[in-house]
Structure 1
Amino acid sequence: MQSNDARMLLYTAGPAAAAGVIAVAASAAFAGGKGAIGAVFGTVLVVAFMGIGLGVLQWVAKSLPQLFQGIGLVLYVGQLLLMVIFVAVFQNATFFNPRAFAITLVAVTVVWIGAQARAHMKAKIFYVDPAAEARKPETAGSTT
């Protein structure tokens, strides 16, 4: 993982985790222990899915840059569909509060996406690699 990739992960996962901590505290206050468990589960799920997605996007950006935008769109739609599926599957769960889970899932996802957009806009990523010109091999033959 390059330094700008690690920085992007830090700048997105940090605010999402902070939002998760706030959601856990609010869920514990309003829905008790089961609400806190649901909020923790929702936070972990979002950070895991979005973190894996960010890793996949970074790999695609390096390996297949021409497919980056399309893969990014498919990835985000897939992640959101998976989260909707998780909300539907756990809507009648008894070991945690499903409402706290769903609200936390949405809130932390929105914070992650906002933080990722901000981190990407603040990142100083070269469109042209100036060091590539220095590494260019000499061509064989005459230059005249």
Structure 2
Amino acid sequence: MQSHDARLFLRALVPTLVVGALAAVVSALVAGGKGALGAVVGVALVLFVMGLSLVVLQQTAKKYPGLFQMMGLLLYAVQILFVAVFLLAFKDTSLFDTKAFAFSLLAATLVWIAAQARGYMKAKILYVDPEAAEAKRAETAGSTP
């Protein structure tokens, strides 16, 4: 993982963890231990799905840049399917409070997306390699037909 990729990951991870901790505390106060567990499970699901997708997308961009956009769309569909399967598997569970789970899942997802968007806007990632462009310009400067 490149340094700017790690920074983008941390810029999304830290606010999501803070919201997760707040969700766990609020859920514990409102719904008790099962509420706190539901909040922790919801935030953990978001961190797993979003973090894994970010790592896979970064590896795809590095190895197969032509597939980057298609892989992003595919990962979005896989994220939705994975969460849907998880929700179906635990829809009637009594292990944790499902309302606390749902609200913390929603809050963590929104915070992750907002933090990731802000991180990309603040990052100064060049989409053109200046050294390669300079070398190309120097290479073609001497050849006049």
Specify the TM-score bucket, using the shorter chain as the normaliser.
Answer: 0.7 to 0.9
Number of the residue aligned with 1:30? 30
The two structures, once aligned, show a CA RMSD in angstroms of 2.0
- State the TM-score, normalizing by the size of structure 2: 0.87
1:118 equivalent to 2:118? Answer: yes
> Which segment drifts farther, 46-55 or 69-78?
69-78
Identity of aligned residues (%): 50
Number of the residue aligned with 1:14? 14
Number of the residue aligned with 2:49? 49
Size of the aligned set, in residue pairs, is 141
- Aligned-partner Cα distance in 2 for 1:113–1:133: 33
Summarize deviations over 1:105-131 as a string: whole Å, max 9, x none.
121111111111111121111111123
* Counterpart AA for 1:109: T
- Aligned-partner Cα distance in 2 for 1:96–1:72: 32
Number of the residue aligned with 1:106? 106
The alpha carbon displacement at 1:41 in A equals 1.1
SS of 2:57's equivalent in the other structure is helix
* Counterpart AA for 1:24: A
- Aligned-partner Cα distance in 1 for 2:31–2:113: 26
The alpha carbon displacement at 1:71 in A equals 0.9
- Aligned-partner Cα distance in 1 for 2:124–2:96: 42
Number of the residue aligned with 1:59? 59
Contact 1:87–1:102 (Cα < 8 Å) also in 2: no
SS of 1:31's equivalent in the other structure is helix
- Aligned-partner Cα distance in 2 for 1:82–1:26: 26
- Aligned-partner Cα distance in 2 for 1:81–1:114: 21
* Counterpart AA for 1:102: A
- Aligned-partner Cα distance in 2 for 1:122–1:61: 20
- State the TM-score, normalizing by the size of structure 1: 0.88
> Which segment drifts farther, 98-107 or 47-56?
98-107
- Aligned-partner Cα distance in 1 for 2:73–2:96: 32
Number of the residue aligned with 1:73? 73
